[in-house]
C-alpha cells in the first residue's frame, strides 16, 4: 500500500504533537522550585550544625526532621540535574556518542540516588552511636 492511497487523516495520525513537548521544560521548572526550598534548608542546616564530625552528622541525620528533607532533596535535585545535563549533552554531542552519554547519565543519576537515599535511611533507621 503506497502513501498516496491513504486518507489525509491516516497520513498525519501519529506524527503530530503527542502533548509531551513541554514535559521536560515544565518538570525542570517544578523541581527548580522544590530545589530552592530544599537546598536553602540544607545550606542553613549545615551552617547551624554544632560540628561536622561523625557523631554530629549521624545524630543530625538520625532525626526525621533531617532525614526526610534530605531524601526529598536527593529526589528533587537529582531529577533536576538529570534534566539539565541531558540538555548539555544534546547541545554538544551530535553523533552516536549522544545516546551512550544519555544512557550513562541515567545510570549515574539513578545509581548515585540509590546510594545516597540508602545511606540516609540507614542512618535514620539504625540509630546513632551511644
Partner 1 sequence: MATARNVNRPLSPHLQIWKWGPHMLVSILHRATGSGMATVGTVLLVWWLAAAASGKEAYQTFTDVMGFYGLGYILGTGLSLCFFIHMANGIRHWFMDVGANFELKGNKTSSIAVLTFGILATIAYWAYLIWGK
Q: Among 23, 63, 84, 104, which residue interacts with partner 1 (rule: CB under 8 A)?
A: 84
Nearer to partner 1, 10 or 84 (CB): 84
> What is the spatial distance between Cα 113 and Cα 6, in angstroms, rounded to a whole number?
49
d(CA 130, CA 117): 23
Rounded to 10°, the helix 54-62/64-92 angle is 100
Question: Which residue among 27, 34, 39, 72 contacts partner 1 (CB under 8 A)?
Answer: 39
What's the distance, CA 59 to chain centroid?
A: 26
Under the rule (CB under 8 A), what is the footprint of partner 1? Answer: 29, 32, 35-36, 39, 43, 47, 52-54, 57-58, 61, 70, 78, 81, 84-85, 88, 94-95, 108, 112, 115-116, 118-120, 122-123, 129
Amino acid at each position: 500500500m503506497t502513501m498516496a492511497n491513504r486518507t489525509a487523516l491516516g497520513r498525519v495520525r501519529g506524527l503530530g504533537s503527542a502533548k509531551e513537548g513541554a514535559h521536560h521544560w515544565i518538570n525542570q521548572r517544578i523541581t527548580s522550585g522544590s530545589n530552592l526550598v530544599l537546598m536553602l534548608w540544607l545550606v542553613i542546616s549545615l551552617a547551624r550544625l554544632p560540628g561536622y564530625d561523625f557523631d554530629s552528622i549521624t545524630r543530625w541525620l538520625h532525626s526525621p526532621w533531617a532525614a526526610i528533607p534530605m531524601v526529598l532533596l536527593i529526589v528533587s535535585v537529582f531529577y533536576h540535574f538529570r534534566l539539565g545535563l541531558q540538555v548539555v549533552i544534546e547541545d554538544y554531542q551530535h553523533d552516536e556518542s549522544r545516546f551512550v552519554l544519555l544512557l550513562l547519565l541515567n545510570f549515574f543519576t539513578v545509581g548515585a540516588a540509590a546510594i545516597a537515599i540508602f545511606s540516609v535511611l540507614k542512618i535514620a533507621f539504625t540509630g546513632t552511636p551511644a
